[in-house]
Amino acid sequence: MIWNYLAEDLGREQVLLGERITAQNLYSMWKKDQAVVHVVDNRIIGYTALWDTPHPIWLELGTVWVHEHYRGNKIASDLFLECTRKLREGMRMFTITHNPKVMHLAKKAGFSEAKDEETWFSIPREITCTPCDRIPISGQRLCSMRTKQNKCTLFFV
Q: What is the pLDDT of residues 64-80, one digit of tens each?
A: 999 999 999 999 999 99
Q: Which residue has the higher pLDDT, 136 or 67?
A: 67
Q: How far apart are CA 21 and CA 11, in angstroms?
A: 7
Q: What is the dihedral of CA 130, 131, 136, 140, to 10 degrees?
A: -40
Task: Tell me what the pLDDT averaged over the chain comes to.
Answer: 84
Q: 12-26, 59-73, 105-119: which has the minimum mean pLDDT? A: 12-26
- Kindly tell me if the per-residue pLDDT of 149 is higher than 70: no
> For residue 70, what is the domain's CATH number?
3.40.630.30
Please tell me what DSSP assigns to residue 34.
Answer: -
Tens digits of residue pLDDT in 31-90:
999 999 999 999 999 999 999 998 899 999 988 999 999 999 999 999 999 999 999 999
Question: Over 53-64, what HEC string results?
Answer: CCCCCEEEEEEE
Please compute the mean of the pLDDT values over residues 110-124 and round it to a whole number: 81
How much is the pLDDT for 154?
85
How much is the pLDDT for 94?
93
Give the number of domains in the chain: 1
- Kindly tell me if the per-residue pLDDT of 16 is higher than 80: no
Q: How far apart are CA 77 and CA 89, in angstroms?
A: 22
Host domain of residue 110: 2-156
Report pTM.
0.82
Q: For residue 138, name the pLDDT band (cuts at 50, 70, 90).
A: low
**First-last CA distance in the chain:** 34
